[in-house]
Amino acid sequence: MKKFAFLLIIASAVLFSCKKALEEKLISGISYGFYETPEGIEGGLTAAYTSLRWGYSGETLHPLQELGTDTYQEGQDGGLKLTLNRYQSTLNPSFTTFYDFWSNYYTGISRANVVITSLSNLKAGMTEDQKNIRIGEARYLRGLYYFYLVQTFGKVPIITSLDFSAGTDFKRSPVPQLYDLIISDLKFASEKLPLTQKDYGRATRGAAQHLLALAYLTRGSAVNENRGQKPSDLDSAAYLADQVIASNVYKLVPDFKALWNIDNQKNEEVIFAVQYSQTLLYNNNVGNWIHLFYTMVYDNKPGMLRDVQYGRPYRRVRPTDFTMYDLFDKKNDSRFYKTFKTVWHSNNPNNIPKWAVQGGFTPPADLVGKPKFKVGDTAIWITMERLSPGINKDSVYASRPYYYIPRDRQTDAEFPQNFKFYDNKRPAANEQNGTRDFFVFRLAETYLIAAEAYGRKGNFVKAAERLNEVRKRAAYKAGEEKTGEFWRVDGGNFNDRFKSTESDMLVTPAGLSTGSFVDFMLDERAREMHGECNRWWDLVRAEKLFERVKKYNPEAAPNIKPLHKLRPIPQNHIDRLNPKGKVDEEQNEGYY
């Protein structure tokens, strides 16, 4: 690959008031000297940010992170599922998505390098403080991109200089060296970036400290692997996470469901987000696609049609049985029903079914021939309850007014769907391009980073304190009405439907010290951060990918191997190397 891969048509920052996001305009026909001006710096830096959008503007980061894990398996549609969920032989160096990942984030690194080099040559137009802030942003982005690469591929080339030549000699650097670079970049960013920035979307001190804490936790989590871990890593992770919490810049949104309201995107919990504009041109004519992938097939059901509110059902992934039936304490943890959609209301008067004798069920005579429901009533209900053995299922289905999907009937096309990423701002039901931002880092994860770092050190008192901040938010509040499943399915008492569950959600130091603390933290991250494009990395970081996928994903279990903790180095990259080293120097074990 070339050391410098930059577009002649770039995005340039347009700075507005403090409530205006970092936006873009198009500039073309520029020379390198342009980047050694304040306007060029801003344009180059915005282009470096733009590389983040690749992960969410298509079937890109999402399938790489969610398929083939313990929490998600394949849905009915999509061409990536056999490769990424079933770990079939097509998961190899020629798999296109791996090269796209590699190429995109190295492009982001090259763009960051342009900014860093240009700022060092800038003679006028910016103060030293302004220059350090912009260098801090560029080094934050470079650290983030290398963090993505090292977690995915292990050893990769380090490129920090600016070179316009078509380089072909790129040796992979050892993983410890990569973490040293990442931590160096993020330390600089943490020291130079301000607590807040005038333009929403720019990296801040909190974003850099959060990512640095996560990098220390990732390096310090290694037990069997050599990531260059140091005895102080977990202390550093806990300290930095606590710094973000103590800054008081960020606060947990009190209601977990409100956190995901598209009209509440710029909330106090978000530390760093990938931005999308409602002007598609500013998104390079590609928007955020995440809203597409979790949606089940609802639009062919009685009383339903496809609409903007319920989304376009790509059904690329579905939750594993572990996610649906074992992971959540549904009676006390509100996050299950605030993450998963289980009820659809009729929006189509033209195909509402009528009561009839069918499936062994005979309705009352006065109902025969009458509509089972009207527009606005429940048309689909997915429930976690299991039908009793020997029951006449056809009779049960026919006797319900709505389309009834109990646990026994769920399929790769019909399942509870994650609705964190709904986007009803799209102009039409079939529009792929969404415009909502994607939360990369938020304060709840900061608490979880601190909790895991303390717990891994054996300080379960501090771990419990940090965890309980997240779990208190997850509890039902006094006066908040629970769903009907609380007393129908999940074992609750009808009279307790407005009662707080906070006391049931709190963990104790003694409880955390019993059993596998690491597995508990992976479970808690899955409950809190379900579907947020980080699960594969979480499992790899904790050295638990093989074990938990074997245990919880029956489609992936037959083929997954320990070697799958790393992705193969893309063949496109290897083919361009000159000189080319031995195959075991250029490729990860098991892929040659």
Task: Give residue-wise pLDDT tens across range 403-414.
Answer: 999 999 999 999
Tell me which DSSP letter residue 475 carries.
B
Q: How far apart are the first and last CA of the chain?
A: 20
**Alpha-carbon dihedral 529, 535, 538, 542, rounded to 10 degrees:** 120
Please tell me whether residue 81 adopts helix, strand or coil conformation.
helix
Identify the pLDDT of residue 28: 41
Length of the chain: 592
Q: What are phi and psi of 537, to 5 degrees?
A: -60, -40
Identify the pLDDT of residue 280: 62
The per-residue b/e assignment along 249-282, b for 16 or more CB within 10 angstroms, e otherwise, is: ebebbeebeebbeeeebebebbbbbbbbeeeeeb
Identify the pLDDT of residue 370: 97
Q: Please report the domains of the chain, with CATH numbers, ordered by start residue.
A: 10-289+567-586 (1.25.40.390), 301-432 (no CATH)
Q: Which of 229, 130, 225, 127 is nearest to 180 (CA)?
A: 229
Q: Which of 551, 471, 553, 552 is nearest to 512 (CA)?
A: 471
Is 10's pLDDT higher than 70? no
Is 24's pLDDT higher than 90? no
Euclidean distance between CA atoms 445 and 272, whole angstroms: 12
Is 23's pLDDT higher than 60? no
Identify the pLDDT of residue 296: 97
Work out the pLDDT band at 507, boundaries 50, 70, 90: very high
- Amino acid identity, residue 109? I
Is-cis flag, bond preceding 174, omega within 30? no
Task: Give residue-wise pLDDT tens across range 201-241.
Answer: 999 999 999 999 999 999 999 999 999 999 999 999 999 99
Euclidean distance between CA atoms 574 and 516, whole angstroms: 40
Please tell me whether residue 471 adopts helix, strand or coil conformation.
helix
Find tokens 């990296």 and name the residue. 203
Token pair, residue 556, equals: 């992936």
Euclidean distance between CA atoms 221 and 235, whole angstroms: 12
Is 26's pLDDT higher than 50? no
Euclidean distance between CA atoms 244 and 482, whole angstroms: 33
Whether 427 and 215 have beta carbons less than 8 Å apart is answered as no
Q: How many CB atoms lie within 10 A of CB 11?
A: 23
**Alpha-carbon dihedral 143, 146, 152, 158, rounded to 10 degrees:** -150
Comparing 5-14, 34-43, 324-333, 563-572, the range with the smallest average pLDDT is 5-14
Work out the pLDDT band at 18, boundaries 50, 70, 90: very low
Find tokens 């969610």 and name the residue. 66
Instruction: Kindly state the percentage of the chain with pLDDT values over 90.
Output: 87
Work out the pLDDT band at 572, boundaries 50, 70, 90: very high
- Report the range out of 141-150, 388-397, 578-587 with the highest average pLDDT: 141-150
Work out the pLDDT band at 164, boundaries 50, 70, 90: low
